[in-house]
């Protein structure tokens, strides 16, 4: 009987891998740098065969990308890099793992997914508008200077001939 209790304390051989909560570095990714995802994945009865990170930048509407994570069996850590989001926005992702028995496990944060926000880059329109305003001011000053010189200049005296 004690043998049965001991067996019940361990997960049966047909259980899926256990996927931890992912961590991203940097914790607040920017539009210029990728985000690295680290996640702990273990399996008591079989080796972890592969781990993938599936992510989207359009809220799962049209595009999602699957990244094969590298897996370190010694540290039980899977690592994948999500590319920089150049225009800013929201990245949502989840983790899938398979063990050596082909059993699949998914951690999608109970359907809420994991995610992070990327701030948009500084707007080119704002920079362009600044140059336009500067050009208008300088152009106006130049036009004013030309007009002032024209009106302040003494008219040339002409001599009239009388016959």
Q: Which of 68, 65, 13 is nearest to 43 (CA)?
A: 13
Q: Which fold has domain 2-118?
A: Immunoglobulin-like (2.60.40)
User: Taking the model in full, what pTM does it have?
Assistant: 0.70
Is the CB of residue 37 less than 8 Å from the CB of residue 115?
A: no
Is the CB of residue 84 less than 8 Å from the CB of residue 36?
A: no
Q: Domain map of the chain by residue range?
A: 2-118, 122-155
Is the CB of residue 74 less than 8 Å from the CB of residue 130?
A: no
**pLDDT per position as a tens digit, 35-70:** 999 999 999 989 999 999 999 999 999 999 999 999
* Dihedral (CA of 40, 43, 47, 48) sign: negative
**pLDDT per position as a tens digit, 80-101:** 999 999 999 999 999 999 999 9
Report residue 24: phi and psi, to 5°.
-110, 145
């Amino acid at each position: 009987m004690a043998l049965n209790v001991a067996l019940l304390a361990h997960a049966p051989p047909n259980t899926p891998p256990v996927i931890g909560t992912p961590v991203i570095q940097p914790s607040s990714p920017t539009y210029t740098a990728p985000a690295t995802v680290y996640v702990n994945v273990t399996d008591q009865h079989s080796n972890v065969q592969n781990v993938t990170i599936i992510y989207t930048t359009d809220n799962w509407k049209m595009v999602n990308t699957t990244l094969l994570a590298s897996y370190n069996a010694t540290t039980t850590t899977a690592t994948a890099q999500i590319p920089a989001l150049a225009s800013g926005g929201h990245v949502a992702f989840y983790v899938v793992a398979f063990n050596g028995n082909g059993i699949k496990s998914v951690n999608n944060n109970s359907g809420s997914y994991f995610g992070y926000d990327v701030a948009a880059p500084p707007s080119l329109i704002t920079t362009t508008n600044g140059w336009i305003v500067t050009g208008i001011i300088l152009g106006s000053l130049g036009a004013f200077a030309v007009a002032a010189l024209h009106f302040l200049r003494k008219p040339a005296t002409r001599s009239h001939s009388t016959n």
